[in-house]
Amino acid sequence: MKRPTAYLAGIGKYAPTRILKNADFAAMGIDTTDEWIVQRTGIRERHIADATETNTSMSERAARIAMERAGVQAGEIDVIVLGTASPDRLLPATAVELQAALGAKRAAAFDVMAACSSFLYGLIVAEGLMQSGAAETCLVVGTEKLSSIVDWKDRSTCVLFGDGAGAAILKRSRGGRGILSTFFRSDGTLAELLWRPGGGAALPFDEQVLQDRSFYIKMEGREVFRHAVRSMTEATDRALDGAKLTGADIDLLIPHQANMRIIEATAKHAAIPMEKVFVNVDRYGNTSSASVAIALEEAQASGRITDGMNVLLVAFGAGFTWASLVIRF
């Protein structure tokens, strides 16, 4: 196990105030039931941004909380790494809009796009920059306004997702706390199982894209499910190996919050009892890049993470991408 370079000095989150419950879909003309959604996914409700809220505004609120908790001013941030699958614009990166909103004048800011693994990828990239000496203080954000990119006419996807943002300040570690191990992988041969085919440079936005609704998320749910379980179990094994720990040493598992059945399969594989697994998918749905960040903030704010605990983060998303970290708090 390596000596940690970076630790999470402050974590913040923001969730829009509007809540959409499973029962509300009927009034929107969507043919689904609370029972189907709860049984298949564990989701009961999700937060939905209003027209004025953006990834920039949501992540600014999350970041300011993280900065306050870390005792960090905007001018001290060297790098902003922002993960999102629903950027505010195709150009420029949402990270630079966040930089401007925060007034983080000397920060380099860029987006990472690893879908639901983005926040974990962001932590890994930021830790690497700190190891290289390129940065001392980093802001890592996961944010999504998925309500703008889901097809509200496709019941197989629109019931799954929610909006929100989470943020963490990374500072140089002193003592034994911080990131103990990291693991990340991707497999682009499976991109078409979960993607937005149209609207980018390969298939620019035009009448056809509009007609096919191909600028919205398309997902082969069953196939994604299979790969999610396989990849998240691999990722938990690899992060534990890297930290020279076993499931028994983990005080809290914080998995990507996409589906209760995937969470249970991941925990079972790592021999981590469900009492040691943080779950909020019932209240947020799948917030993709923001999911683990929001869960991390809730776990810490509710006292489920205390000093000295070993916390395992694991995620899987479109790409496919998957990633994991063990962090000692």
Q: Rule CB under 6 A: which residues touch ligand ACO?
A: 32, 36, 40-41, 115-116, 155-156, 159, 194, 221-222, 224-225, 228, 258-259, 262, 286, 288, 316-318
Question: Tokens representing 226?
Answer: 């299979």
- Closest approach of ligand ACO to the CB of residue 252, in Å: 21
CB-wise, 173 or 233, nearer to ligand ACO?
Answer: 233
Q: At what angle do helices 221-243 and 260-269 cross, to 10 degrees?
A: 30
Question: Tokens representing 40?
Answer: 């298949």
CB-wise, 36 or 205, nearer to ligand ACO?
Answer: 36
- Closest approach of ligand ACO to the CB of residue 291, in Å: 8
* Per annotation, catalytic residue among 138, 256, 259, 310: 256
Q: What residues contact 169, with CB distance under 8 A and at least 6 apart?
A: 8, 9, 10, 11, 66, 67, 69, 70, 72, 77, 137, 138, 139
- Closest approach of ligand ACO to the CB of residue 258, in Å: 4
- Closest approach of ligand ACO to the CB of residue 77, in Å: 28
Residue type, 59: S
Contact 94, 55 (CB under 8 A): yes
Distance CA 168, CA 140 (A): 5
Residue 100 has phi, psi (to 5 degrees) of: -65, -45
- Closest approach of ligand ACO to the CB of residue 232, in Å: 9
CB-wise, 20 or 194, nearer to ligand ACO?
Answer: 194
Contact 310, 180 (CB under 8 A): yes
Strands, E, within 17-155: which ranges?
19-21, 45-47, 79-83, 108-112, 137-145
Report the candidate in 321, 285, 320 with the shortest Cα–Cα distance to residue 46.
285
Provide the β-strand partners of residue 145.
Answer: 163
CB-wise, 156 or 208, nearer to ligand ACO?
Answer: 156
CB-wise, 37 or 129, nearer to ligand ACO?
Answer: 37
* Cβ-proximal residue to ligand ACO, closest one: 221
Contact 317, 118 (CB under 8 A): yes
Catalytic, 256? Answer yes
Residue type, 141: V
- Closest approach of ligand ACO to the CB of residue 75, in Å: 35
CB-wise, 137 or 266, nearer to ligand ACO?
Answer: 266
CB-wise, 177 or 185, nearer to ligand ACO?
Answer: 185
**Which pairs from 31-38 meet CB under 8 Å and 24+ separation?**
31/155, 32/155, 32/159, 37/159
User: Element (H or E) spanning 244, and its range?
Assistant: none
* Per annotation, catalytic residue among 116, 138, 158, 310: 116
Catalytic, 259? Answer no
Distance CA 298, CA 193 (A): 31
- Closest approach of ligand ACO to the CB of residue 85, in Å: 7
Catalytic positions, written as ranges: 116, 256, 286
